[in-house]
Structure 1
Amino acid sequence: MKSILLHIEGDSCMKARMQVALDIARTCDAHITCLQAVSYEVFAPGDFYGSALAAAMPKIKEAADELRAEIEKDLENEGVSFEWRFMYGMAETRLLEQSALHDVILVGPNDVGEEGRGPSAMVGELVLKAPVPVFVIPKDTTSLDLGQDVLVAWNGSSEACVALRAAVPLLKHAGKVYLASVAEENGRNRFDFPPSEGAKYLSRHGVSSEVIEIPRGQAKISDTLFSAAQMRECGYMVMGAYGHSRIAEMLLGGVTRRSLSDPQLPIFMAH
């Protein structure tokens, strides 16, 4: 991971994802591209001539400039390589456009301007369409030690394989990697790619792993995975994202959607 695309927005998760970007940059000697997107699609009922937009944009731009000055001042004291890109437009559109020459996108779990539970439409669009993995950072994250253990959610799908493959550069730093599958209620798991294949793949990259099966119980699969990761004091979770619709927040796969609605720890996702 040498090139990090960091979403800049004045939301409650900004501090958390900034810290994670710094932690990854220091560990991997990576460069941070700070992307700040300001939308000009301001809508006011009855504003047929754009007067509300004309009045709002200078204030929005002023707030964006203040945020930039604050963050750049902090970054200049962190000793990491970074650059700033300011663009007009929807954040998800600009992040998608800029992602092709980056290794990972760092975002929060919420849509721009929304602080409630997701799932975020922006995160859904990025996960399903970006050519690189997306690291979703909840606001309670204070740091990311890449040397901590990591839990990889494994269901044998091609999406899980893609996420595992994308995570290898980070997993090489992990203390221990758990390939975790949740037992089906009928006791018969079906894997297109069994966990043993994932473990073999990791071993070829010098990453050792432990295959574990977690009892389903009464909890949702997403909650079961989060609990398993937290019990093992994992720093983050790797997950393949399933979905196929432009309305990504509605038709993401059930486990993906629920995991993004209230993430209990950082989630590294790929599709």
Structure 2
Amino acid sequence: MKTILLHIDSDHCMEARLQVAMDIARATGGHITCLQAVSYDVFAPGDFYGSAMAAAIPHIREAAEKLRAKIEADLANEDVSWEWRFFHGIAEHRLLEQSALHDIIIVGPHDVGEEGALGPSAMAGELALKAPTPVLVVPGDTKRLDVSAPVLIAWNGSSEVCVALRAAVPLLALSSQVYLACVTDNEEKTRFDFSASEGARYLSGHGIAAEISEIPRGEAKVADTLFSAAQLHDCGMMVMGAYGHSRLAEMLLGGVTRRILSDPQMPILLAH
């Protein structure tokens, strides 16, 4: 993945996704586009004359400039190619606009100003559903992305996971082992048409060997089962498809992706 679009914000996951962006750039000879978007749309009840907004703008601008200076100083000491793009407006909209000529978007697990929220990032969901490129969600405790580590693909046979599989090929080619994990439940009917063997055959055509792993559903949540399987195989990343309406109203595996994004335990690559 040669062109990496990185969301810049002052949340506590910023350092983690910056490190992951650099890991991918080094492994692929890629280029990082740091996108910083600042919105001055501050809503203050009763502030009919915009006095609260006017007072907030200098502080917002100063914080943005400090963050840029810090990250640019850090990047200046790294052996990666990068550039900085600053925009006014909602980050989600600017990332979507810039995504057409990028190979991957890297974001955190929380929306701007909503760290500690229990639900998944609405921005990550919107980008996964609308952007023409995959989205990599990086949790804050990620130290680095070992691109040679095994990767788990949460396979349910949907066209969406097929899209995610194809989008992930450049990273899967660097992995030491790819697992197509199917959480099976004999009581549920299969909704989609693509078997795990077809996914493995597609990867084989790209020179990537994949091992199919069928996991009985059991009593645990599907999300927990997938994380357990990924941890068992020492996976560094999980790949999933996403489908549904806006704001993550519906997602792959009947809400499994929604649950996984609420508490991601490793980087999660999504595509629609």
Q: Is the Cα contact below 8 Å between 1:242 and 1:256 reproduced in 2?
A: no
RMSD: 1.2
Question: Match of 1:76, as an amino acid?
Answer: A
**Correspondence 1:126 to 2:127:** yes
Q: Is the Cα contact below 8 Å between 1:185 and 1:216 reproduced in 2?
A: no
Taking the aligned partners of 1:249 and 1:201, their CA distance within structure 2 comes to: 28
Please give the secondary structure, in 1, of the residue aligned with 2:240.
strand
Match of 1:83 in 2: 83
Please give the secondary structure, in 1, of the residue aligned with 2:249.
helix
Shift of 1:51: 1.3
Shift of 1:189: 4.7
Taking the aligned partners of 1:209 and 1:33, their CA distance within structure 2 comes to: 31
Shift of 1:185: 4.4
Taking the aligned partners of 1:65 and 1:185, their CA distance within structure 2 comes to: 55
TM (norm. structure 2) is: 0.96
Match of 2:259 in 1: 258
TM (norm. structure 1) is: 0.97
Once the two structures are overlaid, the 10-residue window that deviates more, 141-150 or 252-261, is 252-261
Match of 2:108 in 1: 108
Please give the secondary structure, in 2, of the residue aligned with 1:115.
coil
Question: Match of 1:156, as an amino acid?
Answer: G
**Correspondence 1:218 to 2:219:** yes
Name structure 2 gaps, 5 residues minimum. none
**Correspondence 1:51 to 2:90:** no
Match of 1:205 in 2: 206
Taking the aligned partners of 2:57 and 2:123, their CA distance within structure 1 comes to: 22
Match of 1:18 in 2: 18
Shift of 1:49: 1.6
Please give the secondary structure, in 1, of the residue aligned with 2:26.
helix
Taking the aligned partners of 2:208 and 2:148, their CA distance within structure 1 comes to: 12
Taking the aligned partners of 2:15 and 2:132, their CA distance within structure 1 comes to: 25
Taking the aligned partners of 1:112 and 1:31, their CA distance within structure 2 comes to: 24
Match of 2:161 in 1: 160
Name structure 1 gaps, 5 residues minimum. none
Alignment of 1:237-248 (within 5 A): 237-243=238-244, 245-246=245-246, 248=247
Taking the aligned partners of 1:185 and 1:112, their CA distance within structure 2 comes to: 41
Match of 1:35 in 2: 35
Q: Is the Cα contact below 8 Å between 2:159 and 2:192 reproduced in 1?
A: no
Please give the secondary structure, in 2, of the residue aligned with 1:234.
coil
Aligned length: 269
Please give the secondary structure, in 1, of the residue aligned with 2:79.
coil
Taking the aligned partners of 2:105 and 2:199, their CA distance within structure 1 comes to: 24
Please give the secondary structure, in 1, of the residue aligned with 2:212.
strand
Taking the aligned partners of 2:9 and 2:119, their CA distance within structure 1 comes to: 17
Q: Is the Cα contact below 8 Å between 1:183 and 1:189 reproduced in 2?
A: no
- % identical equivalent positions: 68
Taking the aligned partners of 2:132 and 2:143, their CA distance within structure 1 comes to: 27
Please give the secondary structure, in 2, of the residue aligned with 1:251.
coil
Please give the secondary structure, in 2, of the residue aligned with 1:6.
strand
Please give the secondary structure, in 2, of the residue aligned with 1:24.
helix
Question: Match of 1:221, as an amino acid?
Answer: V
Match of 1:3 in 2: 3
Taking the aligned partners of 1:187 and 1:268, their CA distance within structure 2 comes to: 26
**Correspondence 1:234 to 2:235:** yes
Shift of 1:237: 0.3
Shift of 1:50: 1.3
Question: Match of 2:233, as an amino acid?
Answer: R
Q: Is the Cα contact below 8 Å between 1:109 and 1:118 reproduced in 2?
A: no
Q: Are residues 194 and 251 of structure 1, via their aligned partners in 2, closer, same or farther at CA, if it must alter by over 3 Å?
A: closer
